Amino acid sequence: MPGREWTILLDQKNKETILVFLRAPEKGRVKTRLARDIGEEKALFLYKTFAQKTLSTVEKSGMDHRICFFPEDKQGIVEDWLGLDHTYMPQQGDDLGRRMCNGLSRVFDQGIQKAILVGTDVPDISARHLLAAFDLLSQSKVVIGPSLDGGYWLIGFQRDGFCPDIFRQIEWGTDSVFSATIEKCKVAGLSPGILPVLQDIDTLEDLQLFQENNSRFDSDFG
């Protein structure tokens, strides 16, 4: 099988990891809300650009990382896109919450002590944000990075603070995701560390706001 297996033996010196959640880059299956306004080709280009920027940022942080891809039968497509020099792990579960929960559960089962999970639609994420998340996990058992649309762009746990209930009965894709997650943390007796609010890009309005602050993308999506 090409690439590295996701069931790897853990280096005993490496107890922290970043899970990068992404989809296989297939036209018509990524950034579908945005594609309705800018077209599927441009939406795919934008998706790939931001995903590669996120991965570059993760690599700059110097932290161990795993690429968690979806659908789980598309590993070959993702490897052709991003190369073989990564650890690949399929997302498994019927919805986003279950897939995130299962991904975190797997790495904790492998012996990881701190894990954070990020998506690929927040182009302003920096290595500093990722390192700050791990710093907060030295003080709190859970860390969350809220996004402008009411969701979150990062979530992470200490191994002994991992709580699967936080991912259950959430209306994914709505503006109540962050607030509902905070409430579930309270019910579980967890006090999350909170990172800065960042913007994710799902709609034309999001893209236009991003372009206002990043003029180098104007020529591509003008």
Label residue 215 by pLDDT band (50, 70, 90). Answer: low
| Assigned domain for 8 exists | no
| Assigned domain for 10 exists | no
pLDDT in tens, 125-158: 999 999 999 999 999 999 999 999 999 999 999 9
Q: Total domain count for the chain? A: 1
| Assigned domain for 2 exists | no
pLDDT in tens, 157-188: 999 999 999 999 999 999 999 999 999 999 99
159-196 exposure pattern, b = at least 16 Cβ within 10 A, e = fewer: bebbbeebbeebeeeeeebbebbbebbeeeebebbebe
| Assigned domain for 42 exists | yes
Q: Which residue has the tokens 């894709």?
A: 173
pLDDT in tens, 14-33: 699 999 999 999 999 999 99
| Assigned domain for 11 exists | no
| Assigned domain for 220 exists | no
Instruction: Report the percent of the chain where pLDDT is more than 90.
Output: 87
| Assigned domain for 132 exists | yes
| Cα–Cα distance for residue pair 202/160, rounded to 1 Å | 33
| Assigned domain for 111 exists | yes
| Residue-range definition of the domain harbouring residue 136 | 16-212
| Cα–Cα distance for residue pair 218/200, rounded to 1 Å | 17
pLDDT of 3 higher than 60? no
CATH number of 88's domain: 3.90.550.10
CA distances from 165 to 96, 136, 188, 218 (A): 13, 21, 8, 42
pLDDT in tens, 51-97: 999 999 999 999 999 999 999 999 999 999 999 999 999 999 999 99
Which segment of 5-14, 26-35, 211-220 scores lowest on mean pLDDT?
A: 5-14
pLDDT of 102 higher than 90? yes
